Amino acid sequence: MIIADIKDVLNAKMLVSKETEREILCACGSDLMSDVLAYVKEQAVLLTGLTNPHVIRTAEMLDVWAIVFVRGKMPAKEILDMASERNIAVMTTNYTLYEACGRLYKTGLPPCGKV
């Protein structure tokens, strides 16, 4: 699934649009960055309710290509600038974390397994 498809599935608003044709291989939904570090693989989308710089730093370390902030969360300009500098697409959706993950799973996007 490509980033543009994720945007459509989640009725999301694109906040940082970098290479929306990039292929996403799996998804992870978590507000615990320690879980993200343990389970996320590269070329993933991260769904979270956290809007702090640690999310961007974690995504960069793991080569996450897209972040979706759930529950309509809007990150600060600093966060968006960090993502843009690191070529990470950023979106926001009004869906809850549970529903957003479920919608992506239903389309066939697999979860990131333990690495």
Give pLDDT tens digits for 23-64: 999 999 999 888 888 888 789 999 999 999 999 999 999 999
Percent of the chain with pLDDT over 90: 83
SS3 of 29, please? strand
**Residue 115: predicted pLDDT:** 42
Cα separation, 50 vs 47, in Å, equals 9
Cα separation, 37 vs 6, in Å, equals 22
Q: Report the chain's mean pLDDT, rounded to a whole number.
A: 93
Regarding the domain with residue range 3-106, which homologous superfamily does it belong to in the CATH classification? HprK N-terminal domain-like (3.40.1390.20)
Q: Where are the domains of the chain?
A: 3-106
Name the amino acid, one letter, at 12: A
pTM: 0.94
The answer to which of 14-18, 35-39, 64-68, 73-77 has the lowest mean pLDDT is 35-39
Q: Which residue has the higher pLDDT, 35 or 105?
A: 105
